Structure 1
Amino acid sequence: MHGLCTFLLLHVLTCVGQIVNGSDIIHGEKVPNNSMQYMVSLQNNFGHECGGFLITHNFVLTAAHCGKDLTHVILETTNIRGNNYLKRGIERKYIHPDYLIPGLGSDIMLLKLSADVDINKRVHTIAIPTHEQNVQENQICSVAGWGKTEGWDVDNAELRVANVSVIDLKLCYKEWRVLPPNVICAGGYGTRKGFCQGDSGGPLVCNGIAVGIVSFNKHYNCKYPDVPNVYTDISPYVPWINKVLKENNYHL
């Protein structure tokens, strides 16, 4: 058994070299003002780094691999270069204890903000699963973010969204050959829609519920990859999320 586990780990690490953290929304549309008001831009001293989404007055959910160098978040806007937005510092980062790298799974993190956010007409929370969430093959969901839309030299200040279809996990495993546990596959794979490098941490939203978190794709290939995009499945991590929130006197 030990030899088998060692072999599987080496196989995963070999494939990890093909994995690229998620980012840009490809062939999406601009999000109208006063829409998707749960979206959050995670920033460092140089600007936008990742996406995230507000789940309580004081907590943002995002990908664990976004954790390095983050200093603050921007809310209440679809245009992160505008002047009309809300800014909050990051008081603490809660990275899932099983996380090492995206290709090995548990790519999920909670950010506690430096102060509560008022829920109003300009900023909302989004629901996450309360139990096992079974998305269906070919179900149409959405993914949004502020990443580049074409090439590597075109920054995108406007929030964009694309509709993507959920891909059967058996097919996803077949195409990737190896995947971590607790993932959802949607977009990419012969389509012209999905995410690319830069919108990591944003939500996969199905029927108004954030069911997944943008995690990784393959080879920086956004036009478009021959394998499905991969998201962290939120539902298996709900007990951990609730534990962190309870420790901070918050709840969903």
Structure 2
Amino acid sequence: MTIISLLLLASLLPHLTFTARANVGIVNGREAKPHSRPYMVSVQFKEHHICGGFLVSDRFVMTAAHCRNNFPALTVVLGAHELQRKSENLVRIKVESYHQHPGYDAESLNNDLLLLKLEKNAQLNDNIKWISIPTEEGDIEAGSVCSVAGWGRLKTNGTASDCVMETNVMVMNNEKCESKWTKTAFSASLMMCVYGDGGSCEGDSGGPLICGDTAVGVSSFGDPDLCNSPELPEVYTKISAYLQWIKSLIGKVN
């Protein structure tokens, strides 16, 4: 390893050790069909993947607020399936401005939502498209089958995936989730829970929870010691609770 790469690693370490509870690849998943999720975004620092995200307009990426984590400058990569393949037509765009929800609390992870305004509009094509978000507030019915995707770790403390992985999950009843996480950690009005054979892991934070053709949640936190824990379900920021704030920044909601 060169001195430069060692220095880079050393500079990354303080940033990459933020709480596991907050940074919930996909475990027990499958490789997604390349570019079948053209809204997926890799949020990066110095060309290292740190979080997922998704395109909600041609100028804005939605992700989790905890993904900012004091990084001085983030970039986003659009149109990727395999992050390491230089032959792919990856599009890297710098972030022009960061719009963290004003009520974000780094301790409780309440309002864990961040909009990234890109330096320029994304050029949409077959591999780069935005995804719709809810148009009105409301809960997704418990038991609904939805999906999650990302480039995160493939198992607890395992290696990250180079390809987009995906898995199906089920929406959990709010009361059941609250009983597992307690009212202190889980807010039914602002969050939602999912569970299943597979789920998110470190590096998937900020990625979308997709129900039908709509992104309804943003991956926020899970069990600090075990990805896809049967005891502590994964928690997602509920997008529909924030529509007024989102519209104030990006205009109309897709």
The bucket for the TM-score relative to the shorter chain is 0.7 to 0.9
Aligned residues: 229
Identity of aligned residues (%): 34
Query: Matches of 2:192 and 2:169 in 1, distance apart?
Result: 12
Native 8 Å contact 2:145 2:211 kept in 1: yes
Which residues of 2 match residues 33-48 of structure 1 at below 5 A?
A: 33-45=34-46, 47-48=48-49
CA-based RMSD of the aligned residues comes to: 1.7
Deviation at 1:160, TM superposition (A): 0.3
Name the structure 2 match of 1:30: 31
Query: Matches of 2:153 and 2:213 in 1, distance apart?
Result: 25
Determine which structure has the larger strand proportion and give its number: 1
Q: Deviations over 1:56-75 (max 9, x none)?
A: 11100110001131421111
Runs (4+) off by over 4 Å: none
Q: Deviations over 1:101-148 (max 9, x none)?
A: 262410001000111111111111000001013201110000101001
Q: Which letter maps to 2:192? A: I
Name the structure 2 match of 1:209: 214
Name the structure 2 match of 1:148: 153
Query: Matches of 1:106 and 1:55 in 2, distance apart?
Result: 18
Of 59-68 and 21-30, the range deviating more from structure 2: 21-30
Query: Matches of 1:102 and 1:229 in 2, distance apart?
Result: 17
Tell me the secondary structure at the aligned position of residue 122 of structure 2. coil
Q: Residue 82 in 1 paired to residue 90 in 2? A: no
Name the structure 1 match of 2:110: 105
Native 8 Å contact 2:25 2:204 kept in 1: yes
Deviation at 1:224, TM superposition (A): 2.9
Tell me the secondary structure at the aligned position of residue 238 of structure 1. helix
Deviation at 1:24, TM superposition (A): 2.3
TM-score normalised by the chain length of structure 1? 0.86
Query: Matches of 1:225 and 1:106 in 2, distance apart?
Result: 24
Deviation at 1:32, TM superposition (A): 1.0
1:184 pairs with 184, 189, 192, which one? 192
Which residues of 2 match residues 215-230 of structure 1 at below 5 A?
A: 215-222=220-227, 224-230=229-235
1:124 pairs with 124, 129, 132, which one? 129
Query: Matches of 2:233 and 2:150 in 1, distance apart?
Result: 18
Deviation at 1:223, TM superposition (A): 5.7
Summarize the Cα distance change of 1:46–1:86 in structure 2 as closer, same or farther, 3 Å threshold.
closer
Tell me the secondary structure at the aligned position of residue 79 of structure 1. coil
